[in-house]
Structure 1
Amino acid sequence: MEGGQASRFRGVISRRTGKWEAQITVDRKRLWLGTYETEVDAAIAYDRASLKLLRFSSLNFPFTVRTPLEMQFQSMYPFETIISMIKNGTYAYFLGYKANLARSFLPGVRSGQRRIVNAGIGGGPRNEVHEPVMLFGARIG
């Protein structure tokens, strides 16, 4: 390998700089998916492209509870857009945004209503007010 270290993952190449590159083959052509700090991040990028191409047998990581959500998210965009999101690092942001948006439409939670949410590590439950947000010029919530 160029970086002197073989990868444990499909679609991941070690670079001389110590970083890891992800790539996938589409129509017998290599498609570069980006350069990543860790080998696992590069493998995740490869898996995300593989999901869009419906290549389930070539995934580096097994199906999880998130996989169907990720596939639903990917079905909303063309292949080129998903690859662009992977390359420029916005994929995780948009995937998380869509997941949070879906969770925000819980039944019984209306604008200005209080609900109990978990504050996270070390924090107990806390009250939170659900406020409407502006999205693309439309008021949501």
Structure 2
Amino acid sequence: MEKGMLSMVSFAKRFRVDRFKGVVPQQNGHWGAQIYANHQRIWLGTFKSEVDAAMAYDSAAIKLRSGDSHRNFPWTNITIQEPKFQSLLTTDAVLNMIRDGSYPSKFADFLRSQQGETDVGGAGGGGGLNLSSLCGDGNFFCTLLFQKELTPSDVGKLNRLVIPKRYAVKHFPTVPESDEQKQSERVGGEVQLEFYDREMCLWKFRYCYWKSSQSFVFTRGWNRFVKEKGLRENDTIAFYLYESKDGQSFIVIDVAKKDEEQHEVVGCGSSGREEDSNKRKGIRLFGVQIYQP
């Protein structure tokens, strides 16, 4: 786990979700959430991703800090219903649901009962954050970093994805080498990279350099991604940088199947640079137009 630690520090500053209010890293790689109310620290639990912990803080803040305008994520057409949901519950009930992980599903049940919806969005079972809701109010804008059409070997038995060198050098951290690795002619160092998909599920990949083929590759974690996403030859994967107006940022890995139609639509927020959309080409990503820089 120590391999690539220094490189990952600088990488995290650029590509991982920035530090959120009420979120603290744990030694086991998970993320804790906490909130202060009435001069007391209230522990909200431990979560697998930083985004989940940040969402837990936002939900708790509705009940405990109603006058606090600072949120980790902007209000969406889904989360705007949370105050009404929580008004039916005691403070202890809300906190207990956040801690035991049942809050998203119970909030989803509430939305269905109120609106008759069968799909209220979000990863892992409704009521959660997804990129469509994030971009819906224009608080986030996105930039295409790069995309790649998958080759037979990328989705085959080699269980690895080759990252084109020009993109690896530009967008990913330098892969360090230990003394032992410097003696090897086959493999360089490795780091772990983290990305979110369109449902805001966290994906972790081992990223390393193969000296024998002079290739930058994703290894561990890639095969699972291929299977769960149903990837095939000639499908395309793309990496996007999402940034908010208040400085939060994260990287999204997304998939475009070869037979999917692409359309041009309105972008998901302004980056502060006014440009003529007729002069820029992009692709449609889950309901928003992503323009190439």
TM-score (norm 1): 0.66
Which deviates further from its counterpart, 48-57 or 89-98?
A: 48-57
Q: Secondary structure at the match of 2:69?
A: helix
Which residue is equivalent to 1:29? 40
1:40 to 40, 44, 51: 51
Q: Is the 8 A contact 1:10 1:43 kept in 2?
A: yes
Q: Flag the 1:48–1:104 CA change in 2: closer, same or farther, 3 A.
A: same
Q: Secondary structure at the match of 2:107?
A: helix
Which residue is equivalent to 1:96? 108
Which deviates further from its counterpart, 32-41 or 59-68?
A: 59-68
Structure 2 Cα separation of the partners of residues 102 and 8 of structure 1: 34
Which residue is equivalent to 1:13? 24
Q: Is the 8 A contact 1:23 1:46 kept in 2?
A: yes
Structure 2 Cα separation of the partners of residues 100 and 48 of structure 1: 18
Q: Return the offset for 1:55.
A: 4.0
Structure 2 Cα separation of the partners of residues 104 and 87 of structure 1: 27
Give the superposed CA RMSD: 2.1
2:77 to 42, 60, 65: 65
Q: Is the 8 A contact 1:9 1:43 kept in 2?
A: yes
The letter of the residue matching 1:73 is: F
Q: Percent identity?
A: 38
Structure 2 Cα separation of the partners of residues 8 and 56 of structure 1: 18
Structure 1 Cα separation of the partners of residues 50 and 116 of structure 2: 33
Which residue is equivalent to 2:149? none
Structure 1 Cα separation of the partners of residues 41 and 48 of structure 2: 21
Structure 2 Cα separation of the partners of residues 25 and 12 of structure 1: 12
Structure 2 Cα separation of the partners of residues 29 and 56 of structure 1: 16
TM-score (norm 2): 0.33
Which deviates further from its counterpart, 81-90 or 52-61?
A: 52-61
The letter of the residue matching 2:109 is: Y
Which residue is equivalent to 1:74? 86
Over alpha carbons, which structure has the higher Rg?
Answer: 2
Q: Return the offset for 1:71.
A: 1.0
Q: Secondary structure at the match of 1:57?
A: coil
For structure 2, the 5+ residue unaligned runs are: 1-8, 118-293
Structure 2 Cα separation of the partners of residues 8 and 31 of structure 1: 19
- Tell me the matched-pair count: 102
Q: Return the offset for 1:9.
A: 0.1
Q: CA-to-partner distance for each residue in 1:44-98, whole Å, 9 max, x for gaps?
A: 0000001112144121111111233111101100111100110011111110011
Displaced runs of 4+ in structure 1, greater than 4 A? 4-7
